[in-house]
Structure formats: structure tokens, C-alpha cells
A and B are shown apart, each in its own frame.
Chain A
Amino acid sequence: MALHRLSFRLRQTVTHVRSLHTSGCGQQQEATAVESEPEPFSVFRAQENDPACQSEKLIGQYYTLPPAHIKTVFPHGLPPRYQQQIKTFNEACMMVRSPALEVISYLKKTDFSKPAVRYIFYGMKGSGKTMSLCHAVHFCYTQGWLVLHIPDAHLWVKNCKELLPSSYNTSRFDQPLQATEWLRNFRITNEPLLSKIKTKQRYIWTKREFTEEGAALGELVDQGIARVKSSSDVVGAVIKELRLQSGQPESDFRMAVAVDGVNALWGRSTIKKEDKSSVDPEELTLVYNLRKLMKNDWRGFDSMDPFIPVSVPNYSEKEFESCYLYYMDRQWLQHPQSRTEEGKKEIIFLSNKNPSMMDRICAFL
């Protein structure tokens, strides 16, 4: 099975490289008579709702995401199953896991004068990479950074309905729909910061429309949303501005880029031109600009080096335990057998402590 990779990249770097710490695989010890403790459920809920203050002791515990944050930070970022779960449980609870905590701790210690460092969450299918990414993005948001979050790069490369030849560069293709959607979400996420950043260059869209130097970035974004045809170019312009500005020492904001499914930028695309020849990802404006953001030379995934891989394993014993108790607390497990010890062992066996498998199994219990 192909490993999917997520990339999380920072403008600023980490001063020292820490040895990778994978959370215990949890398959070493037998679940020796771990009865569901009669302690109050609050044990498995973290007191700290702020990602900045979460420490390693809170691994395995659930913290609540405030609903206001969800609407701003994650208009498009959360996986659809998780969004359904939020709607069902009426609250957004995320588990604190070590890969996310690790990256957050790196982020806290970044040295902003050095070039950017990239972190990649990797792991098996369904092991929680997107969720860890969202956790880290939430942290960045609470710190007030500018967040450039692309929910799923695969969506840009597959199943595209409309392709326009680019106005800026004729050999490339535009995707107006995805670009406008992304711009909209970008605006929702980063409202306060958009008005602060100014453009350094003059952009001409058509004969009559242009954006002056020194205009707020928010205007640029609005322009892109209004004019659908040139939206991909707007995206390119935004990215260029941000890249130029955040590197300078005088800028007062920090930027974080989070891309989900980053291997889509280099893989094959399913889009075809009218003469049925397939389109390379390079020929898509959005992808082209994104790659520039990643600072690579179009040679493939190796050009992502150097990066720091962070593995996201399946649940450990403790994490599984807390997830199980969370479901019990939410009355999600209706079947009487699932509430017994035997049922718990069966769930462990059938899902092999994989978060998404466990979610799917418990869904019909």
C-alpha cells in the first residue's frame, strides 16, 4: 500500500534536530486486565484547551476545540468523517497525540532567522495524519500566525471539471473553481492579518483591472474571488507576496504552510486535455505555484529534502483506552457486547488499533 505523506512546512527553522520519538507502538504488552476504570470521565479530558500549553503528560487525552475556532481555522481542513462526528457529538474533541505535540514543540522553538524547515507526517492509511496536521494548524492559529492550509492537494489534481489556459503563461492550465474556493477559505481563516500585509508589486489582471502597490492583501484576495477567470493567477500572486515578505526580518507576522496529500504535487494527475493526453501536474498553475512555495526544482519528491519526518503510528494502549472511554461517554457504543471486556478485545483485534478502522467499526455498534 502506498504511503501517503503530508507535509507541514515552516518559514522558520529549528535550531537543533531532535531525535525522532515515536510513541509506543502499544503492541508490546498485553492488555493485562485493563478494566474500564470507574474514575470520572474527566480523566480523559484534558484541562488545557489551548494547544500551546499542552504538555506530554496529556497524551491520550481529549481536548475540545472551541466552535468559533473551527469555523475560522478549518472551513475546509477537517476530514469529512470527523466533521460528521462533530455534528453528531455536538463538540469537536481531538486527541492529543505525540506526533502533533512533537511538531508543536519544534514550532515553539523555531529560530526565525534561518530558512524554513519542513516536517512531514507519514504513516499508514488511517493512522491520524490529517488530524495531527489540523492539531498543529490550530496551534499556529492560536499563536496568531498566518496559516496557509491546503486541505487536500489530491483534489486539485484529480477530477477537474474546468480547465482554462492560463492568461499569464499560455503553456499552463488554470483551475478556476478550486482556486476561488481556496481563496475564500483563505480569507475566512486569516481575516485579521490580511489587512496588515501590503503588496509590493503591481499586478495587472486585464486591460482595466489592476492592483496597485501597497494595497492590502485582502483586496487581492477579493479580486481573485470576484474575478473567477484569473483566480489561479491571484493565488500565484498571493503566494509570491507571502514568500517574499515573510522572509524579511522586518515582517511582523509568521507564516505556516500546511499541505495535506503533498505527494499529489508530484504524482500523476487524472486530468486530460481535450485531445485525451494527460496533463502533468507541472502544467497546472496552482500546482506550479505551490511547488515554488515548497522551494524545489521540479525534480520530484527528493527536492523536498531536507525535511524532518514524523511518523504517525496507530493508537497505543493508552490512547485506545481513552478513545474507547470517549465513545462510551458519548453513548456511541450501543451494542451491549461492546461495553464488555470481551467486546473491547474484539474491537482491538478487528481494528488493530488503527484510528480510522476503529471509528468505522464503532460506527455501527
Chain B
Amino acid sequence: MEYIKKQVEEFDIGKRHLANMMGEDPENFTQEDIDRSIEYLFPSGLFEKKARPLMKHPDQVFPKQRAIQWGEDRRPFHFLFYTGKQSYYTLMHVSTAGSRKSPSSFQNASSPLLPPRVISYSDRHSLSASRWLKKEELEELLVENISIQDYNRFIQLMESLLSMPYCTIEEEFVLRYRQNLEAQSRKQAMPVLERDERGVAFSTADGRRKTSDSTVTLRDCGSGRITINGRDYLQYFPVLQDREQLMFPLQFMGMLGRFDLECTVSGGGRSSQAGALRLAISRGLLSFLSDGEMENMRQAGLLTPDPRVRERKKPGQKKARKKFTWKKR
């Protein structure tokens, strides 16, 4: 413990020194500033991010360890020490029958004529906007290793807690073991909606897929014309599949005949150009849509750039995955 305290002091002093070196205010020097300065002072060409020079708070660097669990007489402090997973079993015990008042006692306390209110998930916003902690996160919280069966048991217990009546009382307790889902309204970078001289609203967006780059300008004129690199899209994409890719974002939103598209695309092959255009169209469409529709598009996968790139060929193999003929001898 003293070691860690010493490390913390050293870290604070080092932080102030660093701030002075960079010429910034030592009082308001955040972790991001530290990272920036270290990257500037010690530029590293290593690919692995974890191998680069690091300066973080000792709590994040040193793994959490338990202090010695027994005293001078070598008797353990905790009554569940000999189970091996003391914090896990304490948690289980507390959730079932522990120090809190049981919900059934509440029911008896109030008038028995009242029907128990079973509160479902959909009623409560806090529960619908969060998820259970994962196994790794629970291990981190309890500072000890849990097996998969233990974890499943824990989740089962929590679920049964929630299904009981009057569970709003334990809501606060339960919320400790839930993690908020941030991604509900994750903000996408929306392109700007501009207006040109005639008053027509238009927006420009980019898209990329597997070495193809594309730029699309959507104009809200009211006809369904599409021009790609100056040519008609029927000429440019003779294959139906590519044109279907282009159609997908507009059809999904039901805005087929509304926009005029002016596109440029370069690089890649036929399919990747179509994919790049699709992404650019969906991004351009964002500025014409409401938030709910944007969420729909995101869940449909229209706004996600496809990360698949060509895999490199490896030495000792014919292609990326294909191996040479295997000879037994």
C-alpha cells in the first residue's frame, strides 16, 4: 500500500514537471494533455499501442491487489474467506437474504388487499437503457476470478430479484451492477445542409470502401436523376446488383424520387465503388432526416463503413489463406 502511495505522489510531481516543461498550467493538466505531451516528447514508431511509452495514474497501471486478508493471529477477517471467492459469495448472500429488507416483508406490511405491482422492464427507463455487467467487469469489481457458471448464477439471481414485486426498492442496489448503454444516441458526424442560389437544399458527403473513394451531392430538387462521373448511372453500372446498392438508402427511407444525385467515384472495382457510393448517399441523407430515422439507418448498417480490406499475402503460403500443397512426406 505504501508503495502505491509513493507511486501516486511521484506521479503527481511528474505531472507538474511535465506541465511546466510543456509550458501549460500545472493545475489543470488532464490525462489527455499528458498523453499528448508524452507522444510529442517520446515519438515511437511501434505498431502495438501498448508497447509505447505510457504515463498514467498508478491506479490504472497497477492491477488491483488484495491487502492481506488475515491478521497477526492468522485468522482471516472475513467470515467467508475459506470459500475462496469471498467477495462473490458475500454479494450473492446480500442479494438473496442479506442486510436489506426483503420485498415480501413490504408486502405484508402494507395492506394485503393491494395486488403486488410487478414492474416490467418497459416501465423503467433506467433499466432499459443499461445492460448487465459483463463477466470481466464483474471480476474487476470484485477483484477476484469468477467462473462462467458463477457468473450465470449471479445474473440469474439479479433477474429473479427484478421479477419480484416491489423491486423498485432495490433498484439502486441493482443499478450498481448494470452498465449504461451509451450507444443509443451516439452522434454521427452529420454533413451540413446548405442551400444554393436557387434555394434548393443540398448536402455533400464522402464514402469509402476498400480503396474506392466517392463524393455525393444530394439535391432536393424532386427528380430521381443520378449522374456518376458525368455519366448516366445506367451506363456506369450495367449490373443490377450495383444499382440496387445505390437504391438501398433511398428506398429504406422512402425517398426514391425526391433527390438528384451528383456523384464522383474513383478507385477500386465495380462492387467497392457501389459500396462507397452507398455509404456516401446514406451519410448525405442524414442531414435531411430526424434523429429517430437516423437511428434506424444506423441499425440497418447503412452508416457503418465496411472495414474489410484485402488481406496481405503471407510468405510460405500461396495467397492470404491458401497454403501450398500439403505433402505427408
Residue pair B235, A124 in contact (C-beta under 8 Å):
yes
Q: Quick one: which of B223, B225, B247 contacts A346, CB cutoff 8 A?
A: B247
Q: Does B45 touch A at the CB level, under 8 Å?
A: no
Surface stretch bound by A, among B19-27, B250-258, B304-312: B250-258
- Contact digits for B231-242, partner A, Cβ 8 Å, 1 yes 0 no: 011110000100
Residue pair A30, B257 in contact (C-beta under 8 Å):
yes
Most A CB contacts (10 A, CB to CB) among B222, B225, B244, B257 go to B257
- Contact digits for A16-46, partner B, Cβ 8 Å, 1 yes 0 no: 0000000000011111000000000000000
**Interchain CA distance A29-B221 in the complex, whole Å:** 9
- Contact digits for A328-365, partner B, Cβ 8 Å, 1 yes 0 no: 00000000000000100110111110100100010000
What's the nearest-Cβ distance from chain A to residue B262, in Å?
A: 14
Q: Output the nearest chain A residue to B225 by Cβ-Cβ distance.
A: A27
**Interchain CA distance A271-B279 in the complex, whole Å:** 47
Residue pair B234, A357 in contact (C-beta under 8 Å):
yes
What's the nearest-Cβ distance from chain B to residue A357, in Å?
A: 7
Q: Does A1 touch B at the CB level, under 8 Å?
A: yes
Contacts of B258 on A, CB cut-off 8 Å? 30
Residue pair B224, A350 in contact (C-beta under 8 Å):
no
Q: Does B210 touch A at the CB level, under 8 Å?
A: no
Contacts of B251 on A, CB cut-off 8 Å? 342, 345-346, 349
With A124-B232, A345-B256 already in contact, 11 other A-B pairs whose C-beta atoms are closer than 8 Å: A27-B223, A29-B222, A30-B257, A342-B251, A346-B251, A346-B256, A348-B224, A348-B256, A349-B257, A350-B244, A352-B232
Residue pair B223, A350 in contact (C-beta under 8 Å):
no
Residue pair A350, B254 in contact (C-beta under 8 Å):
no
Q: Does B135 touch A at the CB level, under 8 Å?
A: no
**Interchain CA distance A357-B250 in the complex, whole Å:** 20
Residue pair B247, A30 in contact (C-beta under 8 Å):
no
* A contacts, CB < 8 Å to B: 1, 27-31, 124, 342, 345-346, 348-352, 354, 357, 361
Interface size band for B: 10 to 19
Residue pair A354, B223 in contact (C-beta under 8 Å):
no
Contacts of B178 on A, CB cut-off 8 Å? none
**Interchain CA distance A345-B256 in the complex, whole Å:** 7
Contacts of B234 on A, CB cut-off 8 Å? 124, 351-352, 354, 357
Contacts of A348 on B, CB cut-off 8 Å? 224, 256-257
Most B CB contacts (10 A, CB to CB) among A27, A124, A351, A352 go to A352
Q: Does B57 touch A at the CB level, under 8 Å?
A: no
* B contacts, CB < 8 Å to A: 222-226, 232-235, 240, 243-244, 247, 250-251, 254, 256-258
Residue pair B224, A27 in contact (C-beta under 8 Å):
yes
Residue pair A30, B235 in contact (C-beta under 8 Å):
no
**Interchain CA distance A357-B240 in the complex, whole Å:** 9
What's the nearest-Cβ distance from chain A to residue B241, in Å?
A: 10
Contacts of A346 on B, CB cut-off 8 Å? 247, 251, 256
Contacts of B244 on A, CB cut-off 8 Å? 350
23 residue pairs bridging A and B, Cβ less than 8 Å apart = A29-B223, A30-B222, A30-B224, A30-B257, A31-B257, A124-B235, A342-B254, A342-B256, A345-B257, A346-B251, A346-B256, A348-B224, A348-B256, A348-B257, A349-B243, A349-B247, A349-B251, A350-B244, A351-B234, A352-B226, A352-B232, A352-B234, A354-B234
Most B CB contacts (10 A, CB to CB) among A29, A348, A350 go to A350
Contacts of A29 on B, CB cut-off 8 Å? 222-223
Q: Quick one: which of A27, A349, A351, A357 contacts B256, CB cutoff 8 A?
A: A349
Contacts of B225 on A, CB cut-off 8 Å? 27
What's the nearest-Cβ distance from chain A to residue B4, in Å?
A: 64
Contacts of A27 on B, CB cut-off 8 Å? 223-225
**Interchain CA distance A30-B225 in the complex, whole Å:** 10
Residue pair A350, B240 in contact (C-beta under 8 Å):
yes
What's the nearest-Cβ distance from chain B to residue A267, in Å?
A: 20
What's the nearest-Cβ distance from chain B to residue A270, in Å?
A: 22
Q: Output the nearest chain A residue to B254 by Cβ-Cβ distance.
A: A342
| Known A28-B223, A30-B224; contact A352-B254, beta-carbon cutoff 8 A | no
